[in-house]
Structure 1
């Protein structure tokens, strides 16, 4: 499984990165599948560096803050108005129950049909897995001040060079503060892609919104994750600080996500 960091800046795009968007690529032995986790503000342009839009097999949204979903509006335009027509049919989109109506409202559309002609919307059911090609994605409710927010556990079984099946797990925190659901989603993950928007000391008075590097590291350690990749770092938060907070509490490898970088899991 390959992870491409399309966008990793928290809350709004920064000078070097769009907001949250991650492209996952894996094979089932017959063809390559591509799925997207979140499509935040500014991400639609950048993702075209790594894939044709028509090659996206599914989109998984963690929650409905604009920095995680708003570029679905631009993708709606690409699907609806491509000269000669869109060849792949409706794009499957999994998200919170309000996703279809929220996107229609954002673009000024009537709720019926809204964007249903471009996207096949399905609501998450907590801890009920969905399968797309080699990807099995399970949502876990997490601690963020919206009606629905999820961490996503992505399990993949791919053939190795000899054709033998190999299982790998990536967990993506979405946006959350510390909570049991986050640790359960990340249990024994090979790579834990975890937000760290806050800094210890600076943001102590704000509860139930975001993690610090320390709290991300504590969650990774409790989950027995192998690698920790910190993400969703706003322009006013120091990457050096959150990484330094995580390292003393997490014994595994710690790094900071960088837009345009690929990771093999």
Structure 2
């Protein structure tokens, strides 16, 4: 399977990157199946660099903070009103309450108080699915676990369901937690948030620093660690420097447009 970094900025879009968004693609039934992990601000438009967004089969939301989900509103606008609309409704996987969350984000009453548009609206347009501990999404077996964050948040493991298929774990947003380590056991690539710089007074249950991300990858036996979700006010090179001594494998920074082929023998940057 192939991973493409669409957006890797943390907590908001940045000067060089949209907020959280990643393409995971693999062959399926004679075509390419496309799963989008998160759809943060700026990501919907950036998808056009890599594919026709009409081809997106499924969207997976790690949690419902705005920097991870709000460009589903922009995606919906294109699906309803672009020159190629209407698009087939994609499946949207997320925490309980996802349709209501997106409805509140999108809907604005018209001047007379009536509905602002005809049709089902964003809360009824997509095929919404609540996260299960394990489910099949196209060519992928997808497992999720709750992680340490102030809202209902999930780390997501994606495995291609073929012999020798690759495995990827996306941490979503999380503070230090053993559930992320367990989900990431022997994974080919751990795409891990690293929002904090290291320090003695790091908040608990919120985010990881580079060192902590590396410690999680080392404990899990991951092959490759890819650091992401670094906010614009932090220096990515410093995050990388803090991580490297704590992980024996390859540790690198996520960069917009980078593509990884994940599978045997290991992930390789293209």
Q: What is the TM-score with the length of structure 2 in the denominator?
A: 0.89
Q: In structure 2, what is the equivalent of residue 237 of structure 1?
A: 234
Aligned to 1:161: none
CA 1:244–1:61 in 2, change beyond 3 Å: closer, same or farther? same
Residues 4-153 of structure 1 aligned to structure 2 (within 5 Å)? 4-28=4-28, 30-83=30-83, 85-87=85-87, 89-108=88-107, 113-125=120-132, 127=133, 129-146=134-151, 148-153=152-157
Q: 1:57-113 deviations in whole A, cap 9, x for unaligned?
A: 1000000011100000011111122346425x2110000111100100111267x94
**In the alignment, is the contact (CA less than 8 A) between 1:175 and 1:209 conserved in 2?**
yes
Q: What is the Cα deviation at residue 167 of structure 1?
A: 2.1
Stretch moving more, 54-63 or 116-125: 116-125
Contact 2:184 2:220 in 1 (8 A): yes
The residue number in structure 1 matching 2:175 is 177
- 2:176–2:204 CA contact under 8 A, matched in 1: no
SS at the partner of 1:166?
coil
Query: 1:35, 1:59 within 8 Å by CA — same for their partners in 2?
Result: yes
Aligned partners of 2:240 and 2:168: how far apart in 1?
A: 19
**SS of residue paired to 2:103:** helix
SS at match of 1:74: helix
SS of residue in 2 equivalent to 1:229 = strand
Alignment of 1:186-197 (within 5 A): 186-197=184-195
How far is 1:50 from its partner? Answer: 0.3
C-alpha contact 1:177 1:210 (8 A) present in aligned 2: yes
CA distance in 2, matches of 1:90, 1:240: 40
Query: Which residue number in structure 2 is paired with residue 206 of structure 1?
Result: 203
Give the whole-Å Cα distance in 2 for the aligned partners of 1:117 and 1:34: 21
* Contact in 2 for aligned 1:79/1:118 (Cα 8 Å): no
Q: Distance in 1 between matches of 2:120 and 2:27?
A: 34
Q: Is the 8 A contact 1:196 1:232 kept in 2?
A: yes
Distance 1:9 1:235 in 2: 7
Give the superposition deviation at 1:31: 1.8
Structure 2 residue runs of 5 or longer lacking an equivalent are 109-114, 263-270
CA RMSD of aligned residues (A): 1.6
Give me the TM-score of the superposition, normalised by structure 1: 0.91
**Partners in 1 of 2:29 and 2:188 — Cα distance?**
21
Aligned residues: 253
